[in-house]
Amino acid sequence: MTNLDERTTDDEEQKEGVAGFMQGARKKALSNVEHVAEGTAAGTLPEGKLFDIATTIGDKRLEDLTVEDTTCGYCAVGCRFDVYTDGDEVLATRPTEPEKSPVNGISTCVKGKFTYDFVDSEGRLTTPLVRDENGEFREASWDEAYERVVEGFQDIKEEYGGSAMSMIASSKATNEENYLMGKFARQVLGTNTVDNCNRLCHSSTVAGLARTYGYGAASVSTEDFEQADAIFLTGSNTTEAHPVLATRIKQHVKDGKELVVFDPREVQIAEYATQYTEVRPGFDQVWINGLVRYIIENDLYDEEFVEERTRGIDQVREAVQEFTPDYVEEVTGVTPEELKSAAETITSNDRVVFGWTLGLTEHSHGTENIMAMANLAAITGNLGKPGTGVSPFRGQNNVQGGGGDMGPLPDNFPGYQSITDEENRKKFEEAWDCEIDPEPGFYTTEMFLAANEDELQGMYCIGENPSLSEPGSNHASEVLEEMEFLVVQDLFLNDTAKYADVVLPACSFLEKTGTFTNTDRRVQMVKQVIDPKGDSKTDWEILQDLANRMGREWDYDNTAEIMEEMRQLTPIYGGITQERVEEEGGLQWPCYDLDHPGTERLYTEEFNTEDGLAHLQAVGYNEPGELPDEDYPLSLTTGRVLYQYHTGTMTHPEEGIQGYNDRDFVEINPEDAADYGIEDGDLVTLESRRGEITVPAQVTARIGSGTVFAPIHFAETCVNKLTDSERLDPHARTPEFKVSAVRVTPVEGEPDVDFETREPVSGDD
């Protein structure tokens, strides 16, 4: 960390600059221009707090302040900024020098700018917890906690074998830590059952793109959005989920370029679109295939590109025959005019970027949706050139790196080296000095089904909250409760920790050093800015301590050494060291050796397939797993709001943030509301075949009739009680989070939860 006092720049100016910046941010927030979504009133931003920060910085003595540049720990946009602290508390953040922040330049969103109270909020875990003789948690020393963990893991291994152990790795943690999580599963526990939140998220993107182009990742860099002539977006609430990317896209529209948005909700980015088209959730294959058909039939495709760089066009041509404009309209509601207009935008512009998120992936046919999109980008020649490509906006801050590239996966070693390949297995068996089962383990969603069948007895869950985030949370919670031995390693006693035998306190990204990989494959530095809270330790230190207590000899002094080991085993990261990342301001994989400059854009020359061609895939159409019917006449889709993050552990402690979107709700179209006798603000019961929740209704025309939307952020209600743990994509095993048949009924009387205090409302008994 750099003490401001030691800086060569003019310190006072620097300090005033930060205070001024925070004041400026306050002004902007008040005038409601900075990443404020969905008509948020200016007063909902924590302006009081901003004022405090500016004053605090102004009042601090220079020698008490330190500054360090780091990467945001919320979403995968990967914004970088300087963090100002007094060693203990985060006082302010400010975008860092432009060469160190290629993605965000001078922008950050409200989470990157203000949402740090979680670090030492009341619920923060500062000491290990173990169960006492009454089954209650009590504080314990690290020694005692480690002993319990080692005993628990070894008991399971001895009684049932290593493959009865499972591990959930954390896409919040660094690359180096996730590399160790994969290594720990295989080498120390002896299981291939290790996976993470990518399974609930973009694993269908990874599967679909890997099949068509070779790499399961974005082909573009953020800069491509600026170079594109048109952007095609679907299933992405960009302004709320990827705010800084949304800023770029909005700028692009302001510059007179085209933006087409297909979404069941008229999300804020749709207000900027040159074409917004409402779709029914779960039918994307139909309209995407309809676009492909229209483009082929009208000879609007890029013949030269298709001829030279792809194979499979004849099969695609045949497969899309049934998707005539009339058929598309009948199934999806997209009119022939809308289809034609979107096809013309895509084909009349030279350079198009295709962006999507969970609206395409979280389906029982997510992989096919993605292959259909991949066909669309390929037949129009929109790959490998500046301003073209596919951009699945990844979710968690490090799901690209930690959730995939580092290989905490049941079927892959780091760098997507398949574990079923004997050569790969040999390489890792030698490097890690262990035997590795050639049979892949269970994916996260399968773990919960397998545990139900008694195939798994133990779980080590790091930085994920599956009791709330898995589909069918009633089922997930039961499984966690029945798990013979469960260890949770987290910043908080989250909902999952309630079922744990031992809880280990981990450090947040502000308390450790390493790397994250953002949505455009860019590896960036994360630096420690404050001391670990209480007795918490970093994930890598905990893993190392446990490995050594279980008979291994891990001897890493820092995360740079872990990175060094990883890169030597992982060709696509072969040239990436922390030193280079620091010096070069980020490096994009593939980067094969120390002289390789990294790869800004994939597929400039060839695809990552054996013949170097894109393999177009014949994709048909499958209905969603659960359609509305008489009993459950509406289709529920679930997702995010700007000011909240997932299961809320990091955003709920934030006072300023609580002013906005701090309580659960369900969006319902005015026509449907009238049919069911619901008025804005009424309490309603939302019921599926799996469970029910009670929440206030928000009556709004931004959602199409027949569809309702509920956010995922509220443990008190937990929308995943309604989703289904069994309807999974056959290739990627992603759940169908975006479609559940539900009914909505107005309820009289009190809610189960006080939405102000988040406490359950006690009944008369």
Ligand X SMILES: Nc1nc2c(c(=O)[nH]1)N[C@H]1C(S)=C(S)[C@@H](COP(=O)(O)OP(=O)(O)OC[C@H]3O[C@@H](n4cnc5c(=O)[nH]c(N)nc54)[C@H](O)[C@@H]3O)O[C@H]1N2
Residue showing the smallest CB distance to Mo ion in the complex: 395
Element (DSSP H or E) covering residue 635: strand 634-639
Question: What's the closest the beta carbon of residue 246 comes to ligand SF4, in angstroms?
Answer: 8
Closer by beta carbon to ligand X, 236 or else 694: 236
Binding at 460: pick from ligand SF4, Mo ion, ligand X, none (beta carbon under 5-8 Å per type): none
Rounded CA separation 261/272 (Å): 9
Strand ordering across the sheet containing 230-234? 275-278, 258-263, 230-234, 352-356, 389-392
CA nearest to 82, candidates 5, 18, 173:
18
- In the bound complex, what is the minimum distance in angstroms from residue 396's beta carbon to ligand X? 4
Q: How far apart are CA 301 and CA 319, in angstroms?
A: 16
Residue 72 binding partner per list ligand X, Mo ion, ligand SF4, none, with a CB distance cut-off of 5 to 8 Å that depends on partner kind: ligand SF4
| Interacting partner of 108 out of ligand X, Mo ion, ligand SF4, none (Cβ under 5 to 8 A depending on kind) | ligand SF4
- Say which entry of Mo ion, ligand X, ligand SF4, none residue 170 contacts (CB below 5 to 8 A, set by partner kind): ligand X
Residue closer to ligand SF4 (CB basis): 416 or 645: 645
Partner interacting with residue 112 (select from ligand SF4, ligand X, Mo ion, none; CB below 5-8 Å by kind): ligand SF4
Nearer to ligand X, 263 or 302 (CB): 263
Min dist CB 639 to Mo ion, Å, is 10
Taking phi first (over 0 means left), then psi (-120 to 50 degrees means alpha), and beta for anything else, what does residue 35 get?
Answer: left
Helix (H) or strand (E) holding 24: helix 11-30
Q: Which listed option, ligand SF4, ligand X, Mo ion, none, makes contact with residue 673 (CB within 5 to 8 Å by class)?
A: none
**Which parts of this chain interact with ligand X (CB under 6 A)?**
75, 170, 172-173, 197, 200-201, 234-237, 240-242, 262-265, 267, 279, 281-282, 284, 357-360, 362, 395-396, 462-466, 469, 489-492, 494, 506, 508-509, 539, 637-640, 642, 644-647, 649-650, 712, 719-720, 723, 737-738
> Residue 76 in 3-state DSSP?
coil
Closest CA to 196 of 575, 496, 469: 469
Closer residue to Mo ion, CB minimum distance, 201 or 419: 201
Q: How far is the CB of 640 from ligand SF4 (least distance, A)?
A: 11
**Closest chain position to ligand SF4 (CB):** 112
Nearest to ligand X of 4, 244 (CB atom): 244
What span, in angstroms and rounded, lies between the C-alpha atoms of 50 and 25? 8
Residues that bind ligand SF4 (CB under 6 A): 72, 74-75, 77-79, 104, 108-109, 111-112, 242-244
Tokens encoding 496: 């999952």
| Residue closer to ligand SF4 (CB basis): 35 or 721 | 35
Task: For residue 417, give both structure tokens.
Answer: 């080296």
For the bound state, the minimum distance from the C-beta of residue 313 to ligand X, rounded and expressed in Å, comes to 25
Helix, strand, or coil (residue 760): strand
The item of ligand SF4, ligand X, Mo ion, none sharing an interface with residue 647, based on CB under 5 to 8 Å by kind, is ligand X
Enumerate binding residues for Mo ion (CB under 5 A).
Answer: 201, 395
Looking up tokens 């990467």 gives: 71
Shortest Cβ 34–ligand SF4 spacing (Å): 11
Q: CA–CA separation, 699 vs 532, rounded Å? A: 45
* Least Cβ distance, residue 104 to ligand SF4 (angstroms): 6
Report yes or no: 510 and 116 within 8 Å, Cβ to Cβ: yes
SS (H, E, C) 260-284: EEEECECCHHHHCCCEEEECCCCCH
Residue listed under structure tokens 């495709």: 301
Copy the structure tokens of residue 684.
């309603």
Q: Which does 465 bind (CB under 5 to 8 A by kind): ligand SF4, ligand X, Mo ion, none?
A: ligand X
Q: Which does 263 bind (CB under 5 to 8 A by kind): ligand SF4, ligand X, Mo ion, none?
A: ligand X
Strands 666-668 and 692-699: parallel
Sequence-ordered alpha helix ranges (H) in 433-509? 444-452, 466-469, 473-482
Question: CA–CA separation, 689 vs 695, rounded Å?
Answer: 17
Alpha helices (runs of H) in 653-749, residue ranges in sequence order: 670-676
For ligand SF4, give the closer residue by CB, 163 or 391. Answer: 391
Comparing CB distances to ligand SF4, the nearer of 145 and 642 is 642
490 binds, among Mo ion, ligand SF4, ligand X, none (CB under 5 to 8 A by kind): ligand X
Query: Tokens 């400059």, residue?
Result: 597
